[in-house]
Structure 1
Amino acid sequence: MILFIVINVRILIADIYLIPSSSMENTLYPKDVILVNKLKYGPNLPRSPYEIPWVNLYYLLQDNSKEAVTKKRWPAKRLAGASHVKQGDVIVFKNFSKDVVFVKRCAAIAGDTLKIKNGEVITNNNLYDAAEHIRNNYAFKIKSPKGFYNTIDSLNIDTHFYSLKSDGYWKEAELSYLEIEKLKGLNLIDSVQKKTDVYILDEKKLYGRGGENQAWTLDNYGPVVVPRAGMEIQLTNEAFRLYRGLIKHNENVFIKRKKNNTFHVNGKRITSYTFKKNYYFMLGDNRKQSRDSRYFGFLPEEKIIGKVSCVLFSNKDDKFQWNRLFKGV
């Protein structure tokens, strides 16, 4: 999970955030300071005077400010942006509170059909070309333990290599696509295989898991259709289980299922539902360590803050990183 401490620089076009922890290695690291472009997708307008910088100081001094600060006076509205969210964009978005936000990579946009098969992301029946810094668990056989460790130090790979067998030739490590390709290119390893998850009881909390989808894991997930504004779905038991929470909490429509497996809104029977909003499916680059849409579900468009433009500067490992100054993401 990525948590951000919000630096008190809030303007309409951009925000600056400090990252204390990350599940986006090797894309972003703890103590990176990032610049977020809020104009890219269009800024969200304030929903109360308390969300307007400087203006909110007057209201915060009022006696009833504690009660009024959480109330929304105006409906949610987003100005038109320079472009739309695209697959692969690294996005900052709100989640559980306005001062705690997340950053993930968009794996699927509104209307896409997404499936994860053996750790590979497939959208609309096409393999999604992962960024070079996407991290997964790999098992591989090294050709020479001595030669491997003599060379690995020069590659600046920040990870641990675990032995799978007593002979020292089989290793396991969490590596990015770029790192595993480096090892292959140096002719250090062979018999490489990506390690995928099997059914784990703790993964009951995966979004959408249950019923016909009981066998879903982090590495074998879906297919799911990402809702799009105007998209109509037929209300089956599986569709109801997958989308009912989203419809209730984000679209303010309560659908009730009766014992005869019929569906009702305000006492009226319905057989289909048409979504009002666009949603997105988000994944962290460190796939095994990320709390993302596989857990919290689809991201509503209005919760998006903006696109990460660059790393302004970084104090990774408590040392100023000159190579990350104004580094693109």
Structure 2
Amino acid sequence: MNYFLTYTVYVLILSVLMGISTWKLFKKMGYNPLLAFVPFYNYFIIQKETKHPKWWVAMAYLPIVGPIMMTVFHLFLMKHFGKSSFTQKLLTVVLPFIYMAFVNYSKDAEVEAKDELYLTEEEKNEKKKESFVGSVTFAVVFATIVHVFITQPFGIPTGSMERTLLVGDFLFVNKWSYGYRMPMRPLAIPFLQGTIMDTGEKGNPKDDPKSYVDAVKLPYSRIFQFSKPKKNDIVVFNYPRDSVHTAIDRKDSYVKRCVAVAGDVIEMKAGRLFVNGKPETILGDQQIQHKFIATTGSQLDIPALYRQYGFLPVQEIQTETGYLYDFQGLTDQTAKEIKQLPQIIELKEHIWPKDSAAVSYKVNAARDAYTKNIDTTQSIFPINKKWNQDWYGPLKIPKKGDVVTLNQETLPEYQWIISEYEHNKLENKNGKIFVNGKETSQYTIQQDYYMMIGDNRDASLDARFFGFVPEENIVGSPMFTWMSVEGLFADKSSSYQPEGKKIRWDRMFKATNTGEANKTSYWWVAVIILALFFGWDYFAKLFKKKEKVD
């Protein structure tokens, strides 16, 4: 309810600005000047007077799409009053209500009426150009509507979900899977997630130009929520710990498997996942992978292994006696096959020691051994536990309505929930905990939370490091892979990079989230849609030609 109330306030503010800056123009067009203040109807009149499709008005106040359409309407109105030079169009786009007010209160503003029969050749050419620009604008608007309100393309740049989702897969995400989350930053550049451009590694990401106006914000709201994420669902969500973007829906997008839902208890034992005390259920399309360390007497043919097994992140270190290989993502079957290679002396799964904080191992070539190095970027969640990737939990996933105990021991587990995800003022002073200024030893959870973990268990930045994923961060679920390109993204975790790029035709147009080992291809659906689109366009043009001849 707060969402639509806030949205209504924005609409009224825009309507007042529209009315103040155009009421005289409406009067000169023969309408009651008060109609310039009426939401939707004011733009309906502009469309009517300028002879453009009236149904465009329905898009005037939609989030993200609305500002584009409003700009189009403003340009129509100014052209109707003879303001169509490049400078005048630029002022209309950049300073809409200021420039329209200038025209509105000037004495020479009059409706420019021209009969189609008396247009000059130059004016006819200009009209054709405007028609073309209008078609392009509508195509952009239509694509924006699909992107914002229906489905969004999403690329897989890392191997955290290998081999279920491959690096270079491009998916379409269904934004209605778990109810549609309403846009929270309605004034934004279409198709861009968080920033307009990346200033590079030397710059501060917080200084990158944002693709949205952060000051114009709407609260979280989800409509038509008939289901919630279930265990084993592959889910797309906004990274909860993104410190660059304050807008939830503008945080970086991640894709992981939902291994536990609100109320479940999760635990990792020697790299194996248990939920509510039971081993996880492995689906047909789910290939769990782990880290393996190989000791060899001679060098392995990594390119040949890559061609055979596909994704194969590996670090190769030469030692005095041979080579060490750090394979970050091998299935049990792949590991079994690699172990049979004649060069292999030993292949052992790497399990982090129990009751040790999250650490990373780096090869010390001089000593021919692995040495521990504290990795501060991979701090385990919560930070006060002696847990790691392989020995984790037990940890209960918070559920809406749960009353949790707050003390110095449990605070690291719930502090992000209280202060960041549920937007309370949290203070920890002199051993006492204050929520919104009141000392307390309890807190009631306001929304459901989820545990999202990658299938490539030892090469995944997931909930074991950044913690619970709030329901408000859920975007949707992948529908199908529409494109897959091997070698498109560089794998920073591997010393070997495949040469060239190759389209994986066998993965295209296959459903993503079915859990089946052998997924159905929907090539035929894509072909039918393309045939209908181009066929309709062809027959429509043919019909128009016949109409002109008749």
Structure 1 length as normaliser, TM-score?
0.77
Q: 1:139 to 1:45 in 2, by over 3 A?
A: same
Deviations 1:155-199 (A, max 9, x none): 535435979999989976334436337639999999975311244
Q: CA deviation at 1:120?
A: 1.1
Instruction: Tell me, in whole angstroms, the C-alpha distance in 1 between the residues paired with 2:170 and 2:178.
Output: 21
Deviation at 1:247, TM superposition (A): 0.9
| CA 153–308 in structure 1, closer or farther in 2 if over 3 Å, else same | closer
Q: Distance in 2 between matches of 1:176 and 1:194?
A: 9
Alignment of 1:62-73 (within 5 A): 69-73=213-217
> Which has the higher mean CA deviation after the structures are superposed, 272-281 or 219-228?
219-228
RMSD: 3.8
Q: Does 1:202 align with 2:375?
A: yes
Question: Secondary structure of the residue that 1:249 maps to in structure 2?
Answer: helix
Query: CA 1:252/1:166 → structure 2, altered by over 3 Å: closer, same or farther?
Result: same
Q: CA offsets per residue over residues 130-162 of structure 1, 9 Å max, x none?
A: 4542221135799xx9xx99x968853543597
Is the counterpart of residue 312 in structure 1 residue 482 in structure 2?
yes
Change (3 A) 1:164 1:219: farther
Alignment partner of 1:225 out of 373, 396, 415: 396
Q: 1:286 aligns with which of 456, 460, 481?
A: 456
Q: Distance in 1 between matches of 2:345 and 2:147?
A: 50
- The amino acid of 1:106's aligned partner reads C
CA offset at residue 253 of structure 1?
Answer: 1.8
2:189 and 2:212 in contact (8 A); partners too:
no
Specify the alignment match of 2:331 in structure 1: 177
Structure with the largest fraction of strand:
1
Q: Which has the higher contact order (CA 8 A, sep 6+)?
A: 1
- Where structure 1 has 5 or more consecutive residues not aligned to the other structure, the ranges are 1-6, 55-65
Which residue type is aligned with residue 26 of structure 1?
A: R
Structure 2 counterparts to residues 154-303 of structure 1, below 5 A: 155-156=308-309, 158-159=311-312, 160=314, 173-177=327-331, 179-180=333-334, 183=337, 194-198=349-353, 199=357, 200=359, 201-203=374-376, 205-210=379-384, 213=385, 215-259=386-430, 261-303=431-473
Which residue number corresponds to residue 87 of structure 1?
Answer: 231
Contact 1:207 1:295 in 2 (8 A): yes
Alignment of 1:52-67 (within 5 A): none
User: Cα 1:21–1:186, aligned 2, differ >3 Å: closer, same or farther?
Assistant: closer
Identical-residue share of aligned pairs (%): 29
TM-score (norm 2): 0.48
Structure 2: stretches of 5+ with no match in the other structure: 1-142, 192-209, 360-373, 488-500, 513-550
231 and 40 in structure 1: CA distance in 2 versus 1, 3 angstrom threshold: same
TM-aligned CA deviation for residue 307 of structure 1: 0.5
CA positional deviation for 1:102 = 1.2
Q: Which residue of 2 aligns with 1:103?
A: 255
Once residues 280 and 316 of structure 2 are traced to their aligned partners in structure 1, the CA distance between those partners, rounded to angstroms, is: 29
* Rg (Cα) greater in structure: 2
Give distance in 1, aligned partners of 2:306 and 2:183. 50
Separation (CA, whole Å) in 1 of partners of 2:305 and 2:338: 12
**TM-aligned CA distance change 1:202 to 1:186, over 3 Å:** closer
Per-residue Cα deviation, 1:49-74 (whole angstroms, up to 9, x for no partner): 326969xxxxxxxxxxx998213443
The whole-number CA distance in structure 1 between the counterparts of 2:310 and 2:168 is 19
Q: Is the 8 A contact 2:424 2:436 kept in 1?
A: no
Q: Could you tell me which amino acid in structure 1 is paired with residue 170 of structure 2?
A: V
Partner of residue 184, structure 2: 47
1:62 is aligned to none
Change (3 A) 1:305 1:51: farther
> How far did residue 44 of structure 1 move?
0.6
